[in-house]
Copies of this chain bind each other. A is one copy, B any other.
Amino acid sequence: MLDERKLRVLYAIIDSYISSAEPIGSRTISKYHDLGVSPATIRNEMSDLEDLGYLSKTHSSSGRVPSDKAYRLYVDRMISNEQKIDKRRKQEIKSILEREHKELDQLVQNSAKLLSQITSYTALALSPQIKETKIKHIQLIPIDKTQILLIIVNETGLVKNTVFKMENPIPDDQLLALTNMLNVKLKNKSIAEIEKGALSEVFTEFYRYKSEIERILPAINKSMESIETIDLYADGITKLLSFPEYKDIEKVRTIISFIEDKNELIQLLADDTFPQDISIKIGNENFYAPIKDCSIITATYKLDGETIGKIGILGPTRMDYVSLAKTLKIFSENISEIINNYNVSK
């Protein structure tokens, strides 16, 4: 169905289109890609490729533009070829990221910023999901008579805190005892485990504090919930305004609104649980209408081999998937390494 020459023509068109953003004609291909055949032959091939759904025209006598299907084919071929990462480049980026690294959230945000600067695309990042990471330290601190501060430090060095109110005050010494107990029993457990019942199970052992526990438990549970919230960072949104495909202000407004609204995009990124490290969603493969002519490349970052977040790039379907995927891979590896390295110090 797709013989060697058709493939070469298709790839040539994709290459040219990625850099020019203009529909590609048969003469352009024969001129700049040495296929050894005349434009007329290429025209025939292009016509076939159009029938197969890999190309389309913007009007009856225009050049051809690659379809989502074409990018999909291209990407699948390219990605399967083992990609070599430029180690020096990786190290450069790593040292920049390490320089400003204070805590995990910051690291992820800075990564998105740098990624956008380097690629000139809009960068996205999901905040780390610490639900599955282990708790390193937990503490209850009385702020005033009715308010208690819950602090959870996890193995990544991430610190999360929530304040909750108690109807009736709990004496300081009891709070201290509770803190100690929590530390003993919950250290090295994950929030996910705790939610599955570890918390109440643990607490049943402590009859002495029964009444306090019963009052504090729902508050802690609620705090845990708020800790789980996934956030989205988007950096370099203005980069979208530079692409010729988004010169229509209405179109770009829809896309940026979609990013600003966050929730659906978080869904999209979080749900997409591909086994691969790099996931590429092209045009229509994206569920939500506003980004049906965008592509999103995402990579995961991991802690102890467990995916805890994502970093990605959003732009028009006409993008240099290969080079962007490489860059993204560098970022994802670097983030993971920095987290895990930090983690070693425990």
> Chain A interface (Cβ within 8 Å of chain B)?
102-103, 136-137, 139, 141-147, 149, 151, 153, 157, 159, 161-163, 226, 235-238, 241-242, 247, 249, 252-253, 256-257, 260, 345-346
Flag if A237 contacts B249 (CB, 8 Å): no
What residues on B are CB-neighbors of A143 within 8 Å? Answer: 136-137, 153, 157
Q: Which of B141, B236, B257 contacts A153, CB < 8 Å?
A: B141
Q: Which of B102, B149, B163 contacts A163, CB < 8 Å?
A: B102
Q: Which of B141, B241, B249 contacts A151, CB < 8 Å?
A: B141
What residues on B are CB-neighbors of A241 within 8 Å? Answer: 249, 252-253, 256
Question: In the complex, what distance in Å separates the CA atom of A223 from the CA atom of B273?
Answer: 38
Question: In the complex, what distance in Å separates the CA atom of A346 from the CA atom of B165?
Answer: 12
Q: Which residue of B lies closest to A158 (CB)?
A: B163
Flag if A146 contacts B253 (CB, 8 Å): no
Q: Is the interface of A mostly helix, strand, loop or mixed?
A: mixed
What residues on B are CB-neighbors of A146 within 8 Å? Answer: 345
Q: Which residue of B lies closest to A254 (CB)?
A: B238
Question: In the complex, what distance in Å separates the CA atom of A137 from the CA atom of B235?
Answer: 35
Question: In the complex, what distance in Å separates the CA atom of A253 from the CA atom of B253?
Answer: 12
Question: In the complex, what distance in Å separates the CA atom of A204 from the CA atom of B159?
Answer: 31
A sample of 23 cross-chain residue pairs with beta-carbon separation below 8 angstroms, ordered by A number, consists of A102-B226, A103-B162, A136-B144, A137-B141, A137-B142, A137-B143, A143-B153, A143-B157, A147-B157, A149-B153, A157-B163, A159-B161, A159-B163, A161-B161, A236-B260, A237-B237, A237-B256, A238-B256, A241-B253, A241-B256, A242-B253, A247-B249, A249-B249
What residues on B are CB-neighbors of A102 within 8 Å? Answer: 162-163, 226
Question: In the complex, what distance in Å separates the CA atom of A144 from the CA atom of B345?
Answer: 8
What residues on B are CB-neighbors of A235 within 8 Å? Answer: 260
Question: In the complex, what distance in Å separates the CA atom of A216 from the CA atom of B205?
Answer: 38
Question: In the complex, what distance in Å separates the CA atom of A136 from the CA atom of B252?
Answer: 46
What residues on B are CB-neighbors of A226 within 8 Å? Answer: 102
Additional A-B contacts beyond A144-B345, A151-B161, A238-B257 (19; CB < 8 A):
A102-B163, A136-B143, A137-B141, A137-B149, A139-B141, A145-B345, A146-B345, A149-B153, A161-B161, A237-B237, A237-B256, A237-B260, A238-B253, A238-B256, A241-B249, A241-B253, A242-B253, A249-B249, A249-B252
Flag if A149 contacts B159 (CB, 8 Å): yes
Question: In the complex, what distance in Å separates the CA atom of A242 from the CA atom of B254?
Answer: 11
What residues on B are CB-neighbors of A141 within 8 Å? Answer: 137, 139, 151, 153
Question: In whole Å, how far is A120's beta carbon from the nearest beta carbon of chain B?
Answer: 12
What residues on B are CB-neighbors of A103 within 8 Å? Answer: 162-163
What residues on B are CB-neighbors of A163 within 8 Å? Answer: 102-103, 157, 159
Question: In whole Å, how far is A153's beta carbon from the nearest beta carbon of chain B?
Answer: 5
Question: In the complex, what distance in Å separates the CA atom of A241 from the CA atom of B256?
Answer: 10
Can you list the 10 inter-chain pairs with the closest CB atoms, starting with the nearest?
A241-B253, A238-B257, A159-B161, A238-B256, A144-B346, A238-B253, A143-B153, A241-B249, A137-B143, A157-B163
Q: Which residue of B lies closest to A346 (CB)?
A: B144
